[in-house]
Chain A
Amino acid sequence: MKEKAQVSERFREFKAELTSRPSIVLGMGLRGFLRMLSLKNQWTIALVALIWLWTLGFYVLLSTGDYPCENLFGGDSSENFKRCQPLVYYNDLGLGGVRLFLVTLAAISSSGLIANDMTDKSLHLYLSRPISRLDYLIARFIPVFLLLMCVTALPNLIVYLNQWGDAGLEFEWIKNHKWLLLDILILGSFYSASYSIIGLTFSTAINRESWAAGAFFLFVYGSAIIIEIFYLMIGDDRVLLLSIIHLLDIIGFYIFDTQPFFTAFGIETIDIADIEVFGVFILIIGSCGLFVNWMISQMEANK
């Protein structure tokens, strides 16, 4: 009895020490990321493993000199290869890239993040906590972004470190290739962030996890195929900006300061003004952000 009374007293006197908003958001994001890597998410784990195995397989292939960089960049110098490899990584399977797996992983991992909160309406509970709508979106963005970084920037960083090892672990090598390191990180972040934002948009728009994943995949891959057919018919490079895959690839080439190309019907170089490329990208990502924000604000106002 006395023990019970003590518990009640403590319960009554309870004053929570609450942490700051950034810590809440980061905590939510990291917990979400760890949940993604739990064994319950077999498909996610399987895809991450597949991407790593695929990368490893092609890296072995690289050492045999069969990697298609020479066709893409000309010549066979190792410097060309270093610039080519991280770019080709995001390309078609035929080039040793992981695009198909990457898009599938982005679709699967992002589709449930907001959709499930909307379906079971727990979104209302999250938004009644001391976090804003934007905080909530960042917290849902972090898990899928980190997961995608594990299959974008991380494998390329390992390849980079491996190349450094081949160069005898000389610090001079790092100094000479510091821009390559930065480009690898920027490129990985760019692909991860873009697919995360688009994935979260589908998760918000179609609040059923499996449908959202399917729609994301069809939108990204389906539009690419249709746009390539249009490109063949019209012959204008700007058509390619309407495909997410091609748009991201083109910006990826800019990050690596390389002439953009695409490989659907042989290797074709692309010539589009920078402002058009970045304008379309900002328009798409901005629209996604505004749409998600609007959808959630509607949920806030309604029961």
Chain B
Amino acid sequence: MGSTLIEARNVIKKYGAVTALDDFTVDIPEGKIGILGPNGAGKSTFVKIALGLIRTTSGSITVLGEDLDRNTVDIRRKIGYMPEHDCIPNNMTGVEFLIEMGLVSGMSLQSATQRTHEILGHLQMGEEKYRKIEEYSGGMRQKIKLAQGLIHGPEVIFLDEPTSGLDPKARQEMLETINGLTEVSGTNVLLSTHILQDVETVCDHVIIVNNGKLQMQENVKKLMQRQTDVIQVRIGGSTEDFVKHLKKSGITATSGSRGLHVPYVNDKTFEQIVDSAVKSNCQLYEMERATITMDNVYLEVVD
């Protein structure tokens, strides 16, 4: 793990009576990080605070080592932002729009023009880059929105629901584009989404937020590994007795969203589960080595 990208300490953000972030503390490492959470969890609020667009009610936040209380505007030289909603002027061509965004970021005309064509090249946009944006498909608009966030070569790009409103094919393409462009440009990613597959595809770290609080922070690969090596058990009768007998066999079971989770060691684990069920007079309804995706983790944490 490299150095810290964002460091938030006891951040509280209130909109009137509504608390969007509630004593939120997190250290976000460099790399590709996903912020996962249901709608209204506080993801977008956190992104906007990290971008210096809105201020915290209390608490402190540093981005790329710079305190946002002191440096809300200049920090944006190092940050790219792709908002969730459609926010591209229709009356410009793709090239004109990206050059304008480059210039507004502080680039020279020559540098902005060159970078625009390089990015559009990576996006495999041909003649359509000279067409008005109003003629673009949803997928192309999203790509242009991503490109504007990378135009000035930021150290990190904040992506707010980048696949929102796309059909499955366009979504897959968009995720590949995000992976490809950020990989080739060496940009850190902070991906805010409620779509789990986006995080699985793009990120190497995940942060789960709910009700304005940090619920979990984990390495995606380790998380998937851990979750895959689990046997999901559903029993009838005394769960306590069953768990006790398992413990005697040296196995610690934890409760999951659908019954108990027993760590899988080898196929002998299944026999130990059956033995424990017999000894504790429990009916064994279900015993399955789980192929759990992020969905299960997410639902467990959020529920």
* Interface pair B73/A21, CB less than 8 Å apart: yes
**Chain A residues near B84 (CB-CB < 8 A):** 303
* Interface pair A128/B83, CB less than 8 Å apart: yes
Binds A, one of B61-69, B103-111, B194-202: B103-111
Task: Given A7-B118, A116-B89, verify A24-B106 contact (CB < 8 Å).
Answer: yes
Binds B, one of A9-17, A46-54, A90-98, A160-168: A9-17
* Interface pair A7/B121, CB less than 8 Å apart: yes
**Chain A residues near B72 (CB-CB < 8 A):** 132
Bound together, the chains give a CA A43 to CA B101 distance in angstroms of 27
| Chain A contact residues, CB within 8 Å of chain B | 7-8, 10-12, 14-21, 23-24, 27-28, 31, 116-117, 120-132, 135, 300-301, 303
* Interface pair B85/A121, CB less than 8 Å apart: yes
Q: Which of A12, A24, A130 contacts B184 (CB 8 A)?
A: A12
CB<8 Å pairs between A and B, sample of 20:
A11-B118, A14-B115, A15-B153, A17-B107, A17-B108, A18-B77, A19-B108, A117-B89, A120-B89, A121-B87, A124-B83, A124-B85, A124-B87, A125-B148, A126-B104, A128-B53, A130-B77, A130-B106, A131-B73, A300-B48
Interface string of B1-30 (1 = CB under 8 A from A): 000000000000001000000000000000
Bound together, the chains give a CA A255 to CA B169 distance in angstroms of 66
Is B44 engaged at the interface, CB distance under 8 Å to the other chain?
Answer: yes
Is B41 engaged at the interface, CB distance under 8 Å to the other chain?
Answer: no
Task: Given A17-B111, A18-B105, verify A10-B51 contact (CB < 8 Å).
Answer: no
**Chain B residues near A19 (CB-CB < 8 A):** 106-108
* Interface pair B104/A129, CB less than 8 Å apart: yes
* Interface pair B88/A120, CB less than 8 Å apart: yes
Is B185 engaged at the interface, CB distance under 8 Å to the other chain?
Answer: yes
Q: Which of A8, A31, A122, A128 contacts B51 (CB 8 A)?
A: A128
Is B176 engaged at the interface, CB distance under 8 Å to the other chain?
Answer: no
* Interface pair B185/A14, CB less than 8 Å apart: yes
Bound together, the chains give a CA A132 to CA B104 distance in angstroms of 12
| Chain B contact residues, CB within 8 Å of chain A | 15, 44, 48, 51, 53-54, 72-77, 79, 81, 83-90, 100-101, 103-108, 111, 115, 118-119, 121-122, 148, 152-153, 184-186
Chain A residue with the shortest CB-CB distance to B111 = A16
**Chain A residues near B106 (CB-CB < 8 A):** 16, 18-21, 23-24, 129-130
**Chain B residues near A7 (CB-CB < 8 A):** 118, 121
* Interface pair B186/A127, CB less than 8 Å apart: no
**Chain B residues near A300 (CB-CB < 8 A):** 48, 53-54
**Chain A residues near B148 (CB-CB < 8 A):** 125
**Chain A residues near B15 (CB-CB < 8 A):** 301
Bound together, the chains give a CA A27 to CA B108 distance in angstroms of 10
* Interface pair A125/B87, CB less than 8 Å apart: yes
Bound together, the chains give a CA A104 to CA B153 distance in angstroms of 42
Task: Given A18-B152, A124-B83, A128-B83, verify A8-B108 contact (CB < 8 Å).
Answer: no
Chain A residue with the shortest CB-CB distance to B76 = A130
Chain B residue with the shortest CB-CB distance to A23 = B106
Chain B residue with the shortest CB-CB distance to A301 = B54
Chain A residue with the shortest CB-CB distance to B161 = A303
Chain A residue with the shortest CB-CB distance to B72 = A132
**Chain B residues near A121 (CB-CB < 8 A):** 83, 85-87
Chain A residue with the shortest CB-CB distance to B105 = A129
Bound together, the chains give a CA A14 to CA B107 distance in angstroms of 12
Chain A residue with the shortest CB-CB distance to B152 = A16
Chain B residue with the shortest CB-CB distance to A125 = B87
Q: Which of A14, A130, A301, A303 contacts B74 (CB 8 A)?
A: A130
**Chain A residues near B53 (CB-CB < 8 A):** 127-128, 300-301
Task: Given A14-B115, A128-B83, verify A28-B89 contact (CB < 8 Å).
Answer: no
Q: Which of A14, A24, A301, A303 contacts B104 (CB 8 A)?
A: A24
Q: Other CB < 8 Å A-B pairs besides A21-B73, A27-B103, 8 of them?
A: A11-B119, A12-B186, A14-B185, A24-B106, A122-B89, A125-B81, A127-B53, A135-B73
Bound together, the chains give a CA A8 to CA B103 distance in angstroms of 22
* Interface pair A125/B101, CB less than 8 Å apart: yes
